[in-house]
């Protein structure tokens, strides 16, 4: 696997990727000839954008390769490139190790799709040399969403506030007239401010209680009680789920809506999550029973002799999404990104325009049901 990653700052034709057989693309639809970017001398503020679909997709990854997670992300992207090449797309991949260099204007100009850097500060630096008709895709840092307003940045990971708004909307969507909605706060300075703002915007009646030990007294004696929290504190969210689980065992109709971090809590038994009928809004979720997921896992093992992780899946999904977007809409893909929602093996893509850039707002809604099933909506 490491040998693949030594090919840095070079174009990598899809047909040279290990395991990929040469593909007869004679039957593939003819692509339009690329048109170069031109800036009018008479009107210096007017940009004449490139049009058409490139015959060869120029995909660039600019990542610090010293980080194992970034290496896994890149490996997942390479596997996606192999599949796309076998389906008839011609792709050149340029890879840059940002632990040894910085993003330059030339790198961006030579790219149709530029993925990276990782860190928000590095992305900000890259925007300073970004041509007006190019976009920088932020692949992993949710904090970079703040740059989309004023910079040519496309934010792939959904930020925390967007998840909390989706979580709140979801809780409200399923309410009946006799249901009780309780927002559980740790303190008055809790991180659930986004939830309260969204409820006020929606005009929904709700109750507030403080501390996870207070959920029992806030539970309605009849009807359904929905407990909603946006806290990012492990002890607090775990406490809410445990207390609501006890209420469920006492035959109360209850459910908990909380951030997806609860899935990774070491001190929280998954049985409690099912008892409490936990609902989560998340960027990432992998259904290992899916045939497509199984196929990816087998292929990844065969090529890289390793198990794919969350970074591997995300690299695969990101590569597939943007390569397909470019192959459909050509150089105008940044303007058309809102017209192409798509769901990958782990990640969903549903973009909305924000300032100069765009932001992913796709969330996967995960339900831990009392019958011990896990569903994704």
What confidence score (pLDDT) does residue 37 get? 39
Q: Is the pLDDT of residue 4 over 70?
A: no
What confidence score (pLDDT) does residue 20 get? 40
pLDDT-based confidence at 188, cuts 50/70/90?
A: confident
Instruction: From 314, 272, 259, select the one nearest 115 (Cα to Cα).
Output: 314
What confidence score (pLDDT) does residue 47 get? 55
The token duo for 350 is 């549903």
What pLDDT digit, counting tens, does each position of 316-360 carry? 999 999 999 999 999 999 999 999 999 999 999 999 999 999 999
Q: Tokens 């970004």: give the residue.
A: 130
Alpha helices, H only, the chain: 68-86, 105-109, 120-127, 160-173, 193-202, 215-218, 234-249, 270-275, 291-304, 310-329, 333-336
pLDDT-based confidence at 29, cuts 50/70/90?
A: very low
pLDDT-based confidence at 51, cuts 50/70/90?
A: confident
The token duo for 236 is 């607090």
Average pLDDT over residues 214-231: 93
Q: Is the pLDDT of residue 18 over 70?
A: no
Q: Tokens 């209680």: give the residue.
A: 209
The token duo for 176 is 């009946």
CB 63 within 8 A of CB 117: yes
Average pLDDT over residues 202-206: 93
- Give the span between the Cα atoms of 289 and 373, in whole angstroms: 13
- Give the span between the Cα atoms of 230 and 165, in whole angstroms: 10
Average pLDDT over residues 144-153: 93
Residues constituting the chain: 377
Q: Is the pLDDT of residue 113 over 90?
A: yes
What confidence score (pLDDT) does residue 376 get? 87
Lowest mean pLDDT among 1-5, 45-49, 179-183, 289-293: 1-5
What confidence score (pLDDT) does residue 36 get? 42
- Give the span between the Cα atoms of 352 and 206, in whole angstroms: 29
The token duo for 299 is 């292929």
Average pLDDT over residues 14-21: 38
pLDDT-based confidence at 187, cuts 50/70/90?
A: confident
CB 36 within 8 A of CB 50: yes
- Give the span between the Cα atoms of 356 and 277, in whole angstroms: 40
What confidence score (pLDDT) does residue 48 get? 56
- Give the span between the Cα atoms of 114 and 129, in whole angstroms: 13
Instruction: From 258, 282, 264, select the one nearest 360 (Cα to Cα).
Output: 282
What confidence score (pLDDT) does residue 294 get? 97
What pLDDT digit, counting tens, does each position of 247-297 carry? 999 999 999 999 888 888 877 889 999 999 999 998 888 999 999 999 999
What is the overall mean pLDDT for the chain? 86
What confidence score (pLDDT) does residue 299 get? 97
pLDDT-based confidence at 15, cuts 50/70/90?
A: very low
- Give the span between the Cα atoms of 71 and 75, in whole angstroms: 6
Percent of the chain with pLDDT over 70: 87
Instruction: From 119, 89, 101, select the one nearest 10 (Cα to Cα).
Output: 101
Q: What is the pTM of this model?
A: 0.81
Lowest mean pLDDT among 125-129, 152-156, 259-263: 259-263
Q: What are phi and psi of 364, to 5 degrees?
A: -100, 125
Other CB atoms within 10 Å distance of the CB of residue 242: 18
What pLDDT digit, counting tens, does each position of 84-95 carry? 999 999 999 999
Percent of the chain with pLDDT over 90: 71
């Amino acid at each position: 696997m490491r040998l693949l990653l030594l090919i840095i700052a070079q174009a990598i034709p899809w047909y040279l990727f290990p395991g990929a057989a040469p593909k007869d693309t004679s039957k593939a639809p003819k692509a339009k000839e690329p048109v170069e970017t031109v800036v009018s001398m008479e009107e210096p503020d007017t940009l004449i954008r490139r049009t058409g679909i490139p015959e060869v997709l120029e995909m660039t990854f600019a990542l610090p390769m010293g980080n194992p997670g970034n290496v896994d992300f890149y490996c997942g992207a390479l596997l996606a490139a192999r599949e796309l090449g076998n389906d008839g797309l011609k792709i050149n991949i340029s890879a840059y190790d940002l632990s040894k260099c910085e993003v330059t204007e030339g790198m961006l100009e030579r790219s149709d799709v530029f993925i990276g850097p990782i860190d928000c500060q590095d992305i900000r630096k890259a925007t300073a040399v970004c041509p007006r008709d190019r976009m920088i895709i932020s692949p992993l840092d949710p904090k970079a969403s703040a740059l989309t307003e004023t910079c040519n940045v496309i934010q792939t990971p959904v930020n925390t506030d967007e998840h909390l708004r989706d979580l709140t909307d979801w809780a409200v969507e399923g309410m009946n007239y006799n249901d009780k909605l309780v927002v559980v706060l740790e303190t008055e300075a809790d991180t659930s401010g986004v939830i309260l703002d969204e409820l006020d915007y929606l005009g929904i009646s709700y109750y507030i209680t403080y501390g996870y030990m207070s959920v029992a007294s806030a539970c309605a004696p009849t009807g359904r009680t929905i407990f909603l929290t946006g806290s990012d504190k492990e002890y607090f969210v775990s406490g809410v789920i445990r207390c609501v689980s006890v209420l469920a065992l006492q035959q109360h109709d209850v459910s908990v809506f909380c951030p997806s971090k609860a899935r990774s809590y070491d001190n929280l038994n998954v049985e409690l999550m099912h008892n409490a009928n936990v609902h989560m809004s998340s960027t990432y979720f992998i259904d290992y029973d899916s045939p497509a997921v199984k196929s990816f896992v087998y292929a990844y093992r065969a090529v890289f002799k390793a198990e794919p992780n969350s970074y591997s899946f995300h690299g695969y999904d990101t590569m597939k999404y943007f390569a397909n977007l470019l192959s459909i809409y050509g150089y105008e893909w940044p303007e058309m990104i809102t017209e192409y929602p798509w769901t990958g093996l782990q990640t969903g893509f549903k973009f909305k325009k924000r300032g100069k850039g765009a932001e992913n707002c796709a969330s996967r809604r995960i339900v831990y049901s009392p019958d011990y099933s896990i569903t994704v909506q």
